[in-house]
Amino acid sequence: MKLVRKNVDKTGDGSVTLVPEEPEDMWHAYNLIAEGDQVRSSTIRKVQNESSTGSSSSSRVRTTLTISVETIDFDTQAQVLRLKGRNREENQYVKMGAYHTIDLELNRAFTLMKPEWDTIALERIEMACDVTQNADVAAVIMQDGLAHVCLITSSMTLVRSKIDVAIPRKRKGYVQQHEKGLNKFYDAVMQGILRHVNFDVVKCILIASPGFVKDQFYEYMFQQAVKTDNKVLIDNKSKFMLVHSSSGFKHSLKEVLQDPAVIVKMSDTKAAGEVKALETFYTTLQLEPAKAFYGKKHVCKAADAQAIEMLLISDNLFRKTGI
């Protein structure tokens, strides 16, 4: 997410202009925008035109509108954020108070105006605009010829780089070409790590693969680090951890993060905090059901009795304005 302009006064009133640069930024926008906020953005409007002869035609025009948000719809699969509300500033195409739906688009700026910006919203903007300062876990999920370099924050996983290199098959008389292809692949993955991982912030770097791919890459990377005197890799060697995964695709990251050895290694990272809290709740619910409760009625009773040690709140509930 790119911060274009921030104009928030001491009372919390003001506006912020942002540009979503990647699909994950839509998740941040979804959590920033609440019902009652005003959003200004470029959008498409279908306009009816009537000629002097009485015939009518319709056309689609691009215009800039400011709406007061009433409905927020986020499609997590398509990463599309739709905002519906009434127009607050009349122009030649849209009357004052007319309904319109704005689709927030990648690489297109929008301005968000709130009657009061709280600290949570301002902190989320800082996190969205500089995700490397909050991602204290990195992961490389790989198999022969394919790798994903990911950054893991407390709320989401970002794929920062996908490396796809064709490696010639290992055949008699073509072993050298196979090894050359492997080295090219390993070098691309190593450069991806150096480019996207902030070693000053990251506490744990997971390298996961089926078979011995991770071991061979790890050995290659540190051989190159010693050869080129790469201080960044050498000084942070203890942060790397080799883990098994079923494939080099992103979905394998889920099984990697559930590995007990990984959980121990990640124990002091932000990403592990939510995983551990949820796991503790499920374990308590299973073994000591009298100590774990969910649902508004039971949680309120526990709060009245001052018997809450840890309270977990879902995103949907947190976003409701009436609470």
Range 201-239 burial, b when 16+ CB lie within 10 A, else e: ebbbbbbbbeeebbeebbebbbeebeeeeeeebeebeeb
Q: What percent of the chain has pLDDT over 70?
A: 89
Computed on alpha carbons and rounded to an integer, the radius of gyration of the chain in Å comes to 25
End-to-end Cα separation, the chain, in angstroms: 29
Q: Was domain 2-129 assigned CATH 2.30.30.870? A: yes
Give the CA count within 13 Å in the CB-facing half-sphere of 5: 9
Alpha carbons 243 and 252: distance in angstroms, whole number: 11
Residue type, 306: Q
* Strand order from edge to edge, sheet including 204-209: 157-164, 146-152, 137-143, 204-209, 240-244
What SS3 class is residue 312? coil
Across the range 187-205, mean pLDDT stands at 91
**Quick one: pLDDT at residue 242?**
94
pLDDT given for residue 27 in this prediction: 83
- 4 membership: H or E segment, kind and range: strand 2-8
**DSSP one-letter code for 35:** T
The pLDDT value recorded for residue 206 is: 94
Q: Max Cα separation, the chain?
A: 81
Res. 274: pLDDT tops 70: no
Query: Is residue 127's pLDDT more than 90?
Result: no
Q: What is the pLDDT of residue 131?
A: 61
Mean pLDDT of 10-25: 86
243 vs 26: CA distance, rounded Å:
31
In sequence order, what are the residues at sequence separation of 6 or more whose Cβ sits closer than 8 angstroms to the Cβ of residue 229? Answer: none
What distance in Å separates the CA atoms of residue 132 and residue 1, rounded to the nearest whole number? 12
Domain boundaries, the chain: 2-129, 137-269, 276-320
Closest-CA residue to 180 (of 220, 152, 133) = 220
Q: Quote the pLDDT of residue 57.
A: 76
| Alpha-carbon dihedral sign for residues 215, 221, 226, 232 | negative
- Give the chain's mean pLDDT: 86
pLDDT of amino acid 170: 77
pLDDT greater than 90 at residue 147:
yes
Report pLDDT for 245.
94
DSSP track, 106-167:
TT--EEEEES---HHHHHHHHHHHTGGGT--EEEEEEETTEEEEEEE-SS-EEEEEEEE---
The whole-number pLDDT of residue 75 equals 80
Beta-ladder partners of 42: 64
Which residue in 120, 161, 131 sits closest to 20, CA to CA?
Answer: 131
- Percent pLDDT > 90 in the chain is 46
Q: Give CA–CA dist 80/30, Å, rounded.
A: 10
**Would the pLDDT of 11 be above 90?**
no
Please determine, for residue 16, whether its predicted confidence score (pLDDT) is greater than 60.
yes
Specify which residues 3 forms β-bridges with. 18
The fold for domain 137-269 equals Nucleotidyltransferase; domain 5 (3.30.420)
Residue indicated by tokens 């960044």: 232
Which residue type sits at 124? R
Q: What pLDDT does 113 receive?
A: 95
Q: Report the alpha-carbon distance of residue 239 to residue 8 in Å, rounded.
A: 39
Query: Quick check: 134 pLDDT over 60?
Result: no
Residues 61-120: pLDDT tens digits?
A: 889 999 999 999 988 667 789 999 999 988 888 899 999 999 998 889 999 999 889 888
194 vs 266 pLDDT, higher one: 194
Tens of pLDDT, residue by residue over 213-267, are 999 999 999 999 999 999 999 999 999 999 999 999 988 988 888 888 887 776 6
For residue 10, the SS3 value is coil
pLDDT of residue 187: 95
**Candidate from 55-59, 87-91, 149-153, 196-200 with smallest mean pLDDT:** 55-59
Residue 102 per-residue DSSP state = E
Using CA atoms, how far apart are residues 132 and 127, in angstroms rounded to an integer? 8
The tally of CA atoms less than 13 A away on the side-chain side of residue 210 is 9
For residues 187 and 232, what is the distance between their CA atoms, to the nearest angstrom?
Answer: 16
